[in-house]
Amino acid sequence: MKPMSTSTDSTHSSKENKSNRGKKLDGSLSFIPDDVIFYEIFPRLPVKSLHRFRCIARSFCGLTSERKFLDAVRRYGPRRQLISFPRLLPLEIDLYHADFAVSPYGLGAIPTTAIQDPFTNRCIYINIINGFMCRSNESRNVVIMNNATNEVSILPNYEPPLRCEQHYVYFVYDPHTDIYKVMRTVMFRTGTGSTTALMRYSIFTLGYQIWVCFDHPGLRQYGNSRSVCIDGILYLNKFCEDCGRHVMGLYSVEDDAFSSMLYPNGLCQSKYDDCHLIEINGSLAIIDIHFIMADGITLWRKKKGSMLNDESSWVEQRINFPMDWGKSHRICARYYFSNNLNGEIVMGKTSILEGNNCWILICNVDNETWREIRVSGIVNQVICGDLRVVEYVETPLLLSQISHPK
């Protein structure tokens, strides 16, 4: 008969098990350094799997909020596509997740799943940075979401000035200080009959609970701007100075400071409103879509590290569409351009005539080559050309773990 274990034996066994938890696993895994496991293997796991580790070991909770680990997740984590577009009836934006990795050849149809919308009225702004999604509706409500952790945070209400004529929202991030902010730009008039339009900018820093307002009389926004945030700087079109000169507006996330930058010389003033601002390999790029219904697009790329208003820092590049596209992929100015994590240009195309399928068109800027991916499972009542595709990596960081900026 096997003797019963005494309490002393149990205590000894428990201590032995705890001591073994910190040891490496037997077999081939024993040769894998901890840094490889924590910063190269774990970041490749889905966020839901990472949070299961949080339930097993408390020490893992600290890892999922560690800056080094989060940077590794952004580098190695599974990529997802956020697909959004306004439906024809009713006029509101639908969101879809497309779970796939973009292959070099783009073969096969990609299924999608719908995302629950926290708003009851139409969404007018959406952006996603480091796995955090910012959305704003026509009632000026703003919400920050992490779909991977099922978190939703509604920002405090904001009461704009009387006689508000324009209201826009932008979600920004500074990698140097690890600060996330939401910026509002509001144009209003002081009273009835006033001919002077004033601009007011309001900033909400995630981790705080208030909007901070300030005026910038020297720089005004005159329309819904296309924007891109690169290395802590938000670039926006449709801005002008008091003298009437059209410029790009620049906002520094770290300094809460505005400045301006001139457009390339070859981009005439009539094209300013038609250009898209995107990021390519860490640098600003402008897509001139004024003549996009021709056989290709014109791209202006700013040299990395160059001075803001250095006229020689812009490089013009013409990228033609494939000859075999023909009428199957007729591109128009209403299409939305973005970039993926490989530094490629991405745009989405759909049509009511194509049933419940849409296409993701991807351009490798360096090789000037295109590929296409068919996406299935999207409703067929879609306004042609308003499809937006954004590639991102989910984050295990909880909204409550976003630290207060120092």
The vertex-155 CA angle with 149 and 159, nearest 5°, equals 160
Are 358 and 292 members of one domain? yes
Q: Is residue 22 part of a domain?
A: no
Segment 169-206, tens digit of pLDDT: 999 999 999 999 999 988 777 666 555 677 888 999 99
Q: Which pLDDT does position 155 carry in this prediction?
A: 93
Note whether 345 and 365 are within 8 A (CB): yes
Say how far apart CA 52 and CA 47 lie, in whole Å: 9
Instruction: Indicate the SS3 state at residue 19.
Output: helix
The whole-number pLDDT of residue 395 equals 93
How many domains does the chain contain in total?
2
Q: What is the mean pLDDT of residues 105-124?
A: 61
Give per-residue pLDDT as tens, 368-384: 998 888 776 665 544 44
- Is 268 or 43 the better-scoring residue by pLDDT? 43
Instruction: Give residue 293's pLDDT band: very low, low, confident or very high (50, 70, 90).
Output: low
- Asked whether residue 47 falls in the same domain as residue 93, the answer is no
pLDDT of residue 49: 84
Tell me the pLDDT tens digit for each residue of 23-74: 444 445 557 888 888 899 889 988 888 877 766 555 666 788 889 999 999 9
pLDDT at 271 exceeding the cut of 90: no
Q: Work out the pLDDT band at 302, boundaries 50, 70, 90.
A: very high
Q: Are residues 49 and 139 in the same domain?
A: no
Domain harbouring 280, CATH code: 2.120.10.80
Q: Residue 81's Cα: distance from chain center in Å?
A: 10
The overall average pLDDT reported for the chain is 76
Residue 11 within a domain = no
**Global confidence as pTM:** 0.81
Residues 210, 156: contact at Cβ < 8 Å? yes
Say if residue 227's pLDDT is above 60: yes
Q: Which of 47, 77, 107 is the last residue of a domain?
A: 77
Q: How far apart are CA 84 and CA 145, in angstroms?
A: 15
- Cis (ω within 30 of 0) for the bond into 396? no
Separation between Cα atoms, residue 102 and residue 395, nearest integer Å: 19
Q: What is the per-residue pLDDT for 74?
A: 92
- On whether both 52 and 96 belong to a single domain, the answer is no
Backbone angles phi, psi at 70, to 5 degrees: -65, -40
Tokens of 53: 């580790």
CB neighbours of residue 88 within 10 Å: 14
- Strand 123-129, strand 132-137: pairing: antiparallel
Residue of 242, 250, 240 lying closest to 272 (CA atoms): 240
For residue 95, pLDDT over 80 is answered with: no
Going by DSSP bridges, is the β-strand pair 109-110/369-376 parallel, antiparallel, or unpaired? parallel
206 within 8 A of 144, measured Cβ to Cβ: yes
The parent domain of residue 208 ranges over 78-401
Residue 138: pLDDT over 70: yes
Tokens of 33: 């350094």
- Short-list 371, 364, 267, 264, CA closest to 319: 364
- What pLDDT sits at residue 9? 47
Instruction: Please tell me the predicted confidence (pLDDT) of residue 72.
Output: 94
Question: Do 192 and 309 reside in the same domain of the chain?
Answer: yes
* 42: region left, alpha or beta (phi > 0 left; psi from -120 to 50 alpha): alpha
Alpha carbon separation from 267 to 226, 228, 272, 276, 381 (Å, rounded) = 16, 18, 7, 12, 35
